[in-house]
């Protein structure tokens, strides 16, 4: 099953192919086109996952563009690290002052249960890792999905700060049976923009800015770096059942995209956003500082 707006996404991806660029300017475009159907989508190619993707497979069951996508599976009762989702390594470390855009297209089939019963009752979704100068874990910039039918469907936290920022209306929760585009932007700094630094996080769904977060730091220390991005990888409280969903055309880039949202912010965008025109019709929600 293919999305009708293939040409727009193909054109967008053609602008984001990994090429030789200046320092801290690179792109990973995961199209999942170069593996055998049914094989693990962690083949060593730059166009699929690098790690923790034991339950992710090349598929043609649901496809956004091209001929293949990735089918992500999880086993009921498992927290599933190494099985659920995957890790995308950066070609080059990002540091204070650098930026990254992380765009993922998802297809959740009918009946998919994304509720989490542990770890605060929310599901890890898009994750940007930070580490110390010595390579030790320093926390994640985490987009979480709240349980279905929550009054606010999404939230963000930088684990080094432990402060929650919620966003989205009820209509912004997962819509099953269709492709959706989610995107997160992170500007790296150990001082939030609201406190005179430059740390900013932006989150979009289907090209519409859900929130700009200026009260969160995105590194613990000025010497910290970011080395990779995760989609899912760990199910808090264990998955409620054995199930699967699909992803396609994942982009992780430090190179400023050419698309813009309706506020003029650079974004990867995608097929469902109508290219650079976007579909945003309302301002970002005011910032909430929820402990």
CATH of the domain at 123: 2.60.120.200
Is residue 202 one of the residues assigned to a domain?
Answer: yes
Is residue 289 one of the residues assigned to a domain?
Answer: no
The token pair that represents 20 in the structure block: 């030789």
Q: Identify the CA nearest to 187 among candidates 221, 156, 218.
A: 218
Is residue 12 one of the residues assigned to a domain?
Answer: yes
Is residue 285 one of the residues assigned to a domain?
Answer: no
Domain tally, the chain: 1
pTM of the model: 0.87
Q: Identify the CA nearest to 85 among candidates 119, 116, 50.
A: 50
CA distance 38 to 69: 11
Is residue 63 one of the residues assigned to a domain?
Answer: yes
Is residue 1 one of the residues assigned to a domain?
Answer: no
Range of the domain at 106: 6-277
Provide the residue-wise pLDDT of the chain in tens; the chain has 291 residues: 555 444 445 445 544 444 334 446 999 999 999 999 999 999 999 999 999 999 999 999 999 999 999 999 999 999 999 999 999 999 999 999 999 999 999 999 999 999 998 888 899 999 999 999 999 999 999 999 999 999 999 999 999 898 999 999 999 999 999 999 999 999 999 999 999 999 999 999 999 999 999 999 999 999 999 999 999 999 999 999 999 999 999 999 999 999 999 999 999 997 554 333 333 333 333 333 332
Is residue 95 one of the residues assigned to a domain?
Answer: yes
């Amino acid at each position: 099953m293919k999305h009708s707006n293939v040409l727009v996404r193909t054109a967008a991806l053609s602008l984001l192919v990994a090429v030789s660029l200046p320092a801290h300017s690179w792109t990973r475009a995961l199209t999942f086109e170069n593996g055998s159907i049914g094989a693990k989508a962690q083949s060593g190619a730059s166009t699929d996952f690098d790690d923790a993707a034991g339950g992710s497979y090349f598929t043609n069951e649901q496809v956004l563009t091209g001929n293949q996508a990735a089918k992500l599976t999880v086993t009921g009762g498992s927290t599933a690290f190494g099985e659920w989702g995957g890790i995308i390594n950066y070609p080059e470390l990002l540091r204070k002052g650098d930026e990254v855009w992380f765009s993922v297209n998802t297809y959740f089939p009918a009946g998919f249960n994304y509720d989490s019963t542990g770890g605060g009752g929310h599901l890890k979704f898009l994750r940007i890792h930070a580490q110390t100068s010595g390579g030790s874990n320093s926390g994640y910039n985490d987009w979480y999905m709240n349980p279905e039918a929550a009054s606010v469907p999404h939230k963000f936290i930088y684990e080094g700060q432990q402060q929650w920022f919620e966003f989205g209306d009820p209509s912004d929760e997962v819509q099953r049976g269709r492709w959706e585009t989610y995107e997160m932007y992170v500007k790296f700094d150990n001082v939030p923009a609201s406190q005179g630094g430059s740390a900013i996080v932006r989150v979009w769904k289907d090209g519409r800015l859900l929130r700009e977060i200026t009260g969160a730091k995105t590194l613990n220390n000025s010497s910290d770096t970011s080395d990779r991005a995760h989609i899912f990888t760990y199910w808090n409280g264990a998955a409620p059942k054995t199930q699967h969903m699909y992803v396609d055309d994942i982009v992780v880039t430090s190179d400023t995209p050419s698309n813009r949202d309706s506020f003029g912010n650079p974004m990867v965008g995608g097929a469902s956003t109508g290219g650079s025109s976007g579909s945003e019709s309302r301002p970002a929600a005011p910032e909430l500082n929820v402990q």
